[in-house]
Amino acid sequence: MKKLLTVISIIAILITILGCNRSNFKVNITDSKTGFPIEGKIQVNGKSVKINEGILYLNEGDYTIEKEGYGNLNLGINGNRTNNISTYMEPISYLIILTDNQNAKILIDEAERKGKIEEESIIISPVNEGQHSIVIEAPFYITKKITEEFHKGENLINANLALDSEKVQELLKNIEFPEDNKNFNFSITINGDISKNKFSYDLKGAVKNNLIENISDNNVSYTFKNSEPFINNEQVDDLERATILKFARDTIQEFLQFKEKIKSLNLKDANTDSISFTGEREFEDRKFSETIKLTLYENKVSSVTVNISSQDLQVDLEATISITIN
């Protein structure tokens, strides 16, 4: 009889435990506009609860969840639902900043706000209705200050920042370019297409005393005479390969005189780890649009990405140069 009672007790305990587990639901709550988890104090059926990382544990039942800045969330939980529930809260008012600067720091009423970064905008949610002061700033850009009256729903602000040329020039003065070292190794990856023929090349080379010593492809070393590539004293007759080798050489040569070239370029973008320029470039007696991006590490140029293109000539070449200082 004792054994029977013990077995019955164990079964009862297991049923109780399993029953509790079935009624304990994990609810993930996010902001409907940003997808960020809801944080801080909320009201669950009138009771104050602190929510961390958007996670709330609830039993079966009907709930009204409230949080400042959001519309009420009505949630019904029953045993037929999965134990993991995902839902969201709708902000009463939110902000979309239209900007092409993805590194912008946003302050609303002097408090920094995290936003969801999209291709050409930053979404901040929620923002209370009423008047707010907004500061939008980014390294090497002129800070923008706005006072705006916010209403219910979506609020749009156009805030493309202008580059601060003085700050960028100061940055350029302090950058160490490979030409300052005179000796370095490089690898250069070239991708693109000419007349719709796609290709990819991985080349290596070395610069000594600011002169290109060699360029190699799969351990085959090339030299240049009058800008034409040679191998074993014979001119390269493969037109595509010859064009790519000349483009690689010209790109490195251009980079060895970059401080001078900067003067003829237009500044496109700048932040703490990269600077971009646009301009024109001649290659094989033809003019191309050119974009150059310098990637920085500890105020040194660690890599360069160069793109030249021409719709008329059906040419699009991109070269990424990685630098190793000897």
pLDDT tens, position by position, 158-178: 998 999 989 998 888 889 888
Whether the CB-CB separation of 288 and 315 falls below 8 Å is answered with yes
Does one domain contain both 228 and 296? yes
Asked if 280 and 260 sit in the same domain, the reply is: yes
Please give the residue range of the domain that contains residue 119. 93-162
Does one domain contain both 311 and 209?
Answer: yes
Number of domains in the chain: 3
What is the model's pLDDT at position 276? 93
Same domain, 192 and 292: yes
Contact 164, 137 (CB under 8 A): no
- pLDDT tens digits, one per residue of 212-259: 888 998 878 888 888 888 888 888 888 888 888 999 999 998 888 888
The residue among 66, 89, 112 that closes a domain is 89
DSSP for 93-123 reads: EEEEEE-S-TT-EEEETTEEE--EE-SSEEE
List the CATH number of the domain containing 221. Answer: 2.50.20
Same domain (yes/no): 219, 279: yes
Closest CA to 29 of 61, 46, 59, 51: 51
Are 187 and 317 in the same domain?
yes
Residues 236, 106 within the same domain:
no
215 with 318, same domain: the answer is yes
Do 239 and 319 reside in the same domain of the chain?
yes
pLDDT at 69: 96
3-state secondary structure of 316: strand
Of 89, 110, 144, the domain-final residue: 89
Residue 306, amino acid:
V
Out of 65, 89, 113, pick the residue that ends a domain: 89
* Same domain (yes/no): 113, 235: no
The rounded average pLDDT for each run of 10 residues, N- to C-terminus, in the chain (326 residues) is: 48 44 79 96 95 93 96 89 87 94 91 93 96 94 95 94 90 87 89 83 90 85 86 86 89 88 89 91 88 91 90 81 76
- Check: CB of residue 268 under 8 Å from CB of residue 291: yes
Residues 99 and 80 in one domain: no
CATH at 13:
2.60.40.1120
What is the spatial distance between Cα 132 and Cα 144, in angstroms, rounded to a whole number? 14
Q: What was the pLDDT predicted at 111?
A: 95
Same domain, 198 and 290: yes
Burial of 31 (0-12, 13-18, 19+ CB in 10 A): buried
Say what the pLDDT of residue 21 is: 45
pLDDT of 3 reads 52
